[in-house]
Amino acid sequence: MKWYFAVNETGLRHAWDQLGIAVDSARRTTQLKPVCLVDPGERSPEVSARIAALAHAGVEIIEHRASLFPIVKERHRLDSDMFSGHWLRCDIPMLERSDEIVLYTDIDVMFRRDPEPSLRVPAFLSCAPEHGQDDWSYFNSGVMLMNLPRLRATRDELVRYVEAHIGHMAPHDDQGALNAVYRDRWDRLDRRCNWKPYWGFDAAARILHFHGPKPGNVRDYQRDDAYVSRLEPGGYADHQRALHAIYRRNPEGYAAYMTEADTYRI
């Protein structure tokens, strides 16, 4: 099975450790075939080198500009492409024509065993809950099993929704659009294929998703768990406190998974 993930210039520059964990863990624990959609931006030497490193690690590279992002950028009057990577995954059904079913994940994941044996073909998408383990009212799109022919057939619905609602959405909220369009039409993914560290340690988890605090954040908390409280008030501090509150739900779970995560790199 093909495993798709997506990244833009911002991610290549600032989330390289996450990419290393995702790619190396997939290579060492699964039989998945990695495919990366890349929006390289201005393609600095650093970005070019990291794209080459992904290719050297066995990742198929597809350079692509998200087709929905111009709508987002114009409506929000953005002066950068910082959020373009979020919208790349929406184009997978239009780009992949050989396989009908593919796995997509965000880059902030760690594969712990091959997920394919637990996957079942969905009507459109299979996803797991966002925060609460038993809250199936809204899905997290960080891991999706995608039925590409069915998603292509309903592509116009997604485009129309984004065109009509993007003015009232955050410029990175493709997840909200997917939830709105496929509400009551998505299948339940085994939660162990999108397991969150704050749910606690589960040895049977297949794909661990660093949803909220990323590995770098967790390392900071483990070195100094009180530093967030010392930040000057403001937007950055508020964001960091929100991440830290998620971490505090289960520090032991994070510690167990970070021991594994620190063994992976490219």
Q: Could you tell me the two tokens for 54? A: 């992904």
The model carries a pTM of 0.95
* Residue-level pLDDT at 115: 96
* Residue-level pLDDT at 71: 94
Whether 81 and 69 have beta carbons less than 8 Å apart is answered as yes
* Residue-level pLDDT at 45: 94
Report CA-CA distances (Å) from 247 to 45, 166, 200, 211, 255: 35, 30, 11, 10, 10
Residue 200's DSSP bridge partners are none
Q: CATH code for 2-209? A: 3.90.550.10
Q: Could you tell me the two tokens for 189? A: 């993914």
Crossing angle (nearest 10°) for helices 16-29 and 45-56: 10
* Residue-level pLDDT at 16: 97
* Residue-level pLDDT at 232: 83
Low-confidence ranges of the chain (pLDDT < 70): none
d(CA 245, CA 18): 21
Alpha-helix residue ranges (DSSP H) falling in 82-214: 84-88, 92-95, 148-153, 155-165, 174-181
Crossing angle (nearest 10°) for helices 251-261 and 215-223: 120
